[in-house]
Amino acid sequence: MNAAANKDSSQFRVLIPEDRLQARVSELGEQIRRDFGDRPITCICVLKGSFIFTADLVRAVGGAIETEFLGVSSYHGGTQTSGVVQITKDLTTTIEDKDVIVIEDIIDTGLTMHYLMEMLAVRKPRSLSVCTLLDKPANREVEMVADYVGFSIPDEFVVGYGLDLGERYRNLPHIAVYTP
Ligand code: IMP
Ligand code: MG
**Would you call the peptide bond into 89 cis, given omega within 30 degrees of 0 as the criterion?**
no
Closest CA to ligand 1's atom 5: 108
What is the whole-number distance in angstroms between the Cα of residue 62 and the centre of ligand 2? 23
Find out whether the beta carbon of 110 lies less than 6 Å from any atom of ligand 1: yes
Coil/strand/helix, residue 17: coil
Instruction: Tell me the CATH number at 55.
Output: 3.40.50.2020
Q: Let me know if residue 46 belongs to a domain.
A: yes
| Gyration radius of the chain's alpha carbons | 16
- The residue nearest atom 11 of ligand 1, judged by CA position, is 106
pLDDT tens digits along 30-52: 999 999 999 999 999 999 999 99
Domains of the chain: total: 1
Q: Tell me, what DSSP letter sits at residue 160?
A: B
What residue's CA is closest to ligand 1, atom 3? 109
Mean pLDDT value across residues 12-35: 98
Residue 35 lies in a domain: yes
Q: Give the domain extent around 115.
A: 19-154
At 2, the pLDDT band (50, 70, 90 cuts) reads very low
160 assigned to some structural domain: no
In a domain, 133, yes or no: yes
In a domain, 83, yes or no: yes
pLDDT of residue 49: 96
Looking at the CA of residue 104, tell me the nearest atom of ligand 1: 10
Residue 81 has pLDDT above 80, yes or no: no
158 in contact with ligand 1, CB cutoff 6 A: yes
Q: Is residue 3 part of a domain?
A: no
- Region label for 97, one of left (φ > 0), alpha (ψ between -120 and 50) or beta (otherwise): left
E strand map for 48-174: 65-73, 86-89, 99-107, 127-135, 148-152, 158-159
In a domain, 159, yes or no: no
Q: Could you read off the pLDDT of 160-170 as tens digits, one per residue?
A: 999 999 999 99
Asked whether residue 2 is domain-assigned, the answer is: no
- Tell me the pTM: 0.91
Helix then strand then coil, % of the chain, to nearest 5: 30, 30, 40
Residues 6+ positions from 84 with CB-CB distance below 8 Å: 74
At 111, the amino acid letter reads L
